[in-house]
């Protein structure tokens, strides 16, 4: 094999190796890009779910506050009724 033939073989091997590396890189990049897009969609879905749950939590907190206020009102009414019954029984 002459020098020219050896150079051609080396060039072909290097070129094919470089093309293989580029193709491998492109395939890996495409896979990475698809994975990133998938993660972004998942992240957006989690953000929407978090916002929905925050709104639900606010609603439940408001309901809890309303119930606590009603319990206070009922306790006050019960106390007032007990005082009225006590006063009525003293008067009879």
Which is more confident, 32 or 85?
Answer: 32
| Token pair recorded at residue 14 | 């290097």
Dist. CA 78–CA 68, nearest whole Å:
15
Which is more confident, 27 or 91?
Answer: 27
Residue 9's pLDDT band, with cuts at 50, 70 and 90, is low
Residue 86's pLDDT band, with cuts at 50, 70 and 90, is confident
Residue 85's pLDDT band, with cuts at 50, 70 and 90, is confident
Q: What is the pLDDT of residue 47?
A: 98
CA-based nearest residue to 42, from 30, 65, 34: 34
Three-class DSSP category at 2: coil
Three-class DSSP category at 92: coil
């Amino acid at each position: 094999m002459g020098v020219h033939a050896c150079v051609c073989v080396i060039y072909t091997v290097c070129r094919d190796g470089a093309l293989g590396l580029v193709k491998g890189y492109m395939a890996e990049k495409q896979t990475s890009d698809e994975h990133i897009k998938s993660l972004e969609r998942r992240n957006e879905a989690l953000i929407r779910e978090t916002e929905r749950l925050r709104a639900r939590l606010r609603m439940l907190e408001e309901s809890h506050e309303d119930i606590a206020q009603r319990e206070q009102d009922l306790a006050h009414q019960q106390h007032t009724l007990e005082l009225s019954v006590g006063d009525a029984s003293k008067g009879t």
